[in-house]
Amino acid sequence: MPVFARPCERVRMVRYRRNRVPGGTFFFTVTLRDRRSDLLVRHIDLLGTSWRRARERVAHEVAVVVVLPDHLHAVITMRDEDGDYSGLWREIKKGFTRGLAAASTPWQTRFWEHTIRDARDLATHVDYVHANPLKHGLVARVAEWPHSSFHRHVRLGLLPEDWCGEAEPPARTGERDA
């Protein structure tokens, strides 16, 4: 009797469940479909406008963010009652896509999130976000990348301008290597 000649069993698909924590802080990776694209930095003003409009609909606070050519990372604290970060990303993506007048979305349909657990986890992810342009070989020093909240942290005296320099970037946080 062949191995496949057993009764058919229903296969249940496991639905991905996102961790909703009202007031929670999360690390996100949001990516374009075409990983060779430079769409995000080429249209950085449109991305900013889309994000500001999304903030009117879904209350949140950006702790850190870095925008690279084909993806972005952010650490965000949700300020809405539901912790609806999926709605936030839907609004940002929708506004950006409409502003491009694109026939189809340039975004991957999903995004990756991680719930920040404690102060150490937060510090690790903040460092990872700021060092990401260095990790991807886009700059020799973190301060050289213009699309990063790193510069705000320098202005506020939270980090020195030569932070991370040309050293190895901080710990990995789940992002695949390109």
Residue with tokens 């999130």: 113
CATH H-level, domain 25-155: superfamily: Transposase IS200-like (3.30.70.1290)
The rounded percent of the chain whose pLDDT value lies above 70 is 83
Contact predicate 88/56, CB 8 Å: no
Can you give the residue ranges of every domain in the chain? 25-155
pLDDT in tens, 56-102: 999 999 999 999 999 999 999 999 888 899 999 999 999 999 999 87
Q: How far is CA 124 from CA 53, 70, 78, 93, in A?
A: 29, 22, 19, 26
Q: What is the pLDDT along the chain (178 residues), one digit of tens a residue?
A: 444 444 545 555 455 567 777 899 999 999 999 999 999 999 999 999 999 999 999 999 999 999 999 999 999 999 988 889 999 999 999 999 999 987 889 999 999 999 999 999 999 999 999 999 999 999 999 999 999 999 999 999 999 999 986 545 555 666 655 5
Question: pTM for the full model?
Answer: 0.82
Q: Which of 127, 12, 27, 132 is nearest to 69 (CA)?
A: 132
In this predicted structure, what is the pLDDT of residue 85?
94
Residue count of the chain, please give it: 178
Q: How many CB atoms lie within 10 A of CB 158?
A: 11
Classify the phi-psi angles of 63: left when phi > 0, otherwise alpha if psi is within -120 to 50, otherwise beta.
alpha
Q: Which of 147, 148, 140, 146 is nearest to 164 (CA)?
A: 140
